[in-house]
Amino acid sequence: MSARLELIRRSLPALLGGTVITIQMTVLILLFGVFFGLIFAFGQVYGNKPIRWFVNIYEKLFRSIPELVLLLLVFYGPPSIGIRISPFNAAVLGLSLRATAYMSQIFRGTFKSVGSDQITAAYSLGMGKYKTFLFVILPQAIRVFIPPFANEYAIILKDTSLAYALGVAELLRQGQYIIAVAYDPLTIFLVIAVIYFILTFGVTRLLKLLENKLKIPGIGVEIG
Amino acid sequence: MEDKNRSLLNIIDLKKSFGDNLVLDGISFSLDTGENKVIIGPSGTGKSTVLNCVNRLVVPDGGEIWLEDTEIISCNNINEIRQEIGYVFQGFGLFHHLTALRNVMLGLIRVKKVPKKEAKEQAIAKLEQVGLLDVLDSYPAQLSGGQKQRVAIARALAMEPKLMLFDEPTSALDPELIGEVLNVMKNLAREGMTMLVVTHEMGFARAVSDEIIFMEKGKIVEKSSPEKMFKQPENPRTREFLFKLDELYGKGGEE
Ligand SMILES: Nc1ncnc2c1ncn2[C@@H]1O[C@H](COP(=O)(O)OP(=O)(O)OP(=O)(O)O)[C@@H](O)[C@H]1O
Ligand SMILES: [Mg+2]
């Protein structure tokens, strides 16, 4: 037992190092996903036909390719035309392509959650499209956005473990290195599982608190 | 073009089709300052479309709409014109994430650029006018339908419009809540607000309107004073429609 604890104690720094990489990737992918997802959703809702068409195809495409295949394509694709891409960047890029598709869809749903009556009212007050979006749609969309965002966060966090396949020294890979020398896969994988759990549970918990804090009084009371 | 008695709102030969559905087939009428006109007519006749053309939420295919010296269809400052035209409709359109007070303040702050403190004072004054001082900090979901519609009226009034459009403002309300909204509207009319109202509340029309416009199939069939309209409508279609309204909503006249 104490040998186990000792192993955990000794491997923790390396695992935490991997955790930092995992978190970096997750944050970057989320940033990309939110940024481009927002733009895509905007294009889908307000854009002209070619833009809507593009977003539509994009979403369909990147939601139907397995993440791992996407990572491998991004990693091995560019070098074949002479562009070098690091494993870390390839993993972030590959997963961001996918995250953008999902975020775009989530944003679109949240924009549409604001009823047309409110938009009509805003226009009739002399608020143009831009002000209506900023002061009427966005503040309500953010609230609706939190639960699916929390869900998407958890998916992205877990998907970063796929970067393992490209050799990125993220949490899972670090674990593998340790297992190779200190042969005790069960212990190490358990520790890794716990770290993933803490990251997922902790953050979704925080988002839940935020959601409750932002809750609009009177709404959702009946539904629970 | 000097015209001293120029109307506040002048609609000339308004036309609109949705696809091949001809919805407005040459509508013309005008409102002078302080006048109150009520539009009635069967469902799908284009009543809402008339109002939506006036604030250009719907772009007409032809005709002219003058608000004083500005032609609305061709103007290039529609957001300024919309501030002069209050719009209250069946669905309220209250902003769910804002309190009653904030709903009224939003346009003042974001559109009129009124400083926050003044906006708050003005908003409170308008909410007082519609009898809602007790729900300033309530959110829309916490209000009754009648209260919601009164907030919507206060929100429109806060912009100090020259003209108020009402599109069936009481149709979504439970019968016992209709009165409170109609009373606010009657007071508004008596204080001299220029109002164009689509409604089937004939009691309201009788009490405050200067003219009733009966529309059918995109055309104005008849327009006349309420007395004349109810006592001796000229057109048989008008008579028929008013008779149906009586059956549906009861005799106009009771408050
Ligand atoms: N945005 C739109 N696109 C297509 N058709 C529309 C649109 N708005 C209204 N119409 C059509 O125009 C016609 C007139 O509609 P409108 O809402 O003006 O009638 P209304 O007199 O207000 O009827 P109601 O008493 O039911 O409110 C209807 O046939 C309606 O289906
Ligand atoms: Mg209508």
* pLDDT tens, residue by residue, A167-207: 888 888 888 888 888 888 888 888 889 999 999 999 999 99
Q: Which of A125, A137, A216 to substitute to test the interface with B, most B CBs within 10 Å? A: A125
**CA A66 – ligand 1 centroid, Å:** 47
Start-to-end C-alpha separation, chain B? 43
Cβ-nearest to A219 among B79, B141, B156: B141
Give tens-digit pLDDT for A111-125.
Answer: 888 889 999 999 999
Nearest to A68 by CA among A90, A89, A84: A90
- The confidence score (pLDDT) of residue A162 equals 92
Per-residue confidence band for A220, with pLDDT thresholds at 50, 70 and 90: low
**CA B46 – ligand 2 centroid, Å:** 7
CA distance B28 to A108: 41
CA distance A168 to A161: 9
- The confidence score (pLDDT) of residue B136 equals 95
Q: Which of B54, B76, B110, B136 to substitute to test the interface with A, most A CBs within 10 Å? A: B110
Does A136 contact B at CB distance below 8 Å?
yes
Cβ-nearest to A118 among B95, B139, B156: B95
Q: Which residues contact B115 (CB under 8 A, 6 or more apart)?
A: none
A146 to chain B, minimum CA–CA distance in Å? 15
**CA B50 – ligand 2 centroid, Å:** 9
The ligand 1 atom at the shortest distance from the C-alpha of residue B49 is: 18
A42 to chain B, minimum CA–CA distance in Å? 21
Give tens-digit pLDDT for A155-164.
Answer: 999 999 999 9
CA triplet A58, A63, A67: central angle to 5 degrees?
120
Q: Residues A6-22: what's their mean pLDDT?
A: 86
Question: Which token pair is B229?
Answer: 């309209």
**CA B87 – ligand 2 centroid, Å:** 13
Residues of chain B with pLDDT below 70 are: 1-5, 249-255
In chain B, the residue whose alpha carbon lies closest to the alpha carbon of A222 is B141
Give tens-digit pLDDT for A90-105.
Answer: 999 999 999 999 999 9
- The confidence score (pLDDT) of residue B255 equals 40
Does B51 contact A at CB distance below 8 Å?
no
In chain A, the residue whose alpha carbon lies closest to the alpha carbon of B53 is A124
- The confidence score (pLDDT) of residue A5 equals 83
CA distance A95 to A91: 6
Contacts 24+ apart (CB under 8 A), A108-111: A108/A41, A108/A44, A108/A45, A109/A144, A109/A148, A110/A140, A110/A141, A110/A142, A110/A144, A110/A145, A110/A148, A111/A41, A111/A45, A111/A137, A111/A141
Rounded to 10°, the helix A49-64/A87-112 angle is 120
Does A221 contact B at CB distance below 8 Å?
yes
User: CA B146: distance to chain centroid?
Assistant: 16
Q: Do A126 and B87 touch (CB under 8 A)?
A: no
Per-residue confidence band for A1, with pLDDT thresholds at 50, 70 and 90: low
In chain B, the residue whose alpha carbon lies closest to the alpha carbon of A128 is B79
- The confidence score (pLDDT) of residue B251 equals 58
Q: Which of residues 71-130 of A touch B (CB under 8 A)?
A: 114-115, 117-128
- The confidence score (pLDDT) of residue B250 equals 62
**CA B158 – ligand 1 centroid, Å:** 29
Atom 8 (ligand 1) nearest CA: B49
Q: Which of A124, A134, A146 to substitute to test the interface with B, most B CBs within 10 Å? A: A124
| pTM, two decimal places | 0.84
Give tens-digit pLDDT for A20-72.
Answer: 999 999 999 999 999 999 999 988 888 889 999 999 999 999 989 998 999 99
Q: Which residues contact B19 (CB under 8 A, 6 or more apart)?
A: none
Residues with CB under 6 A from ligand 1: B 18, 21, 23, 41, 43-49
A137 to chain B, minimum CA–CA distance in Å? 9
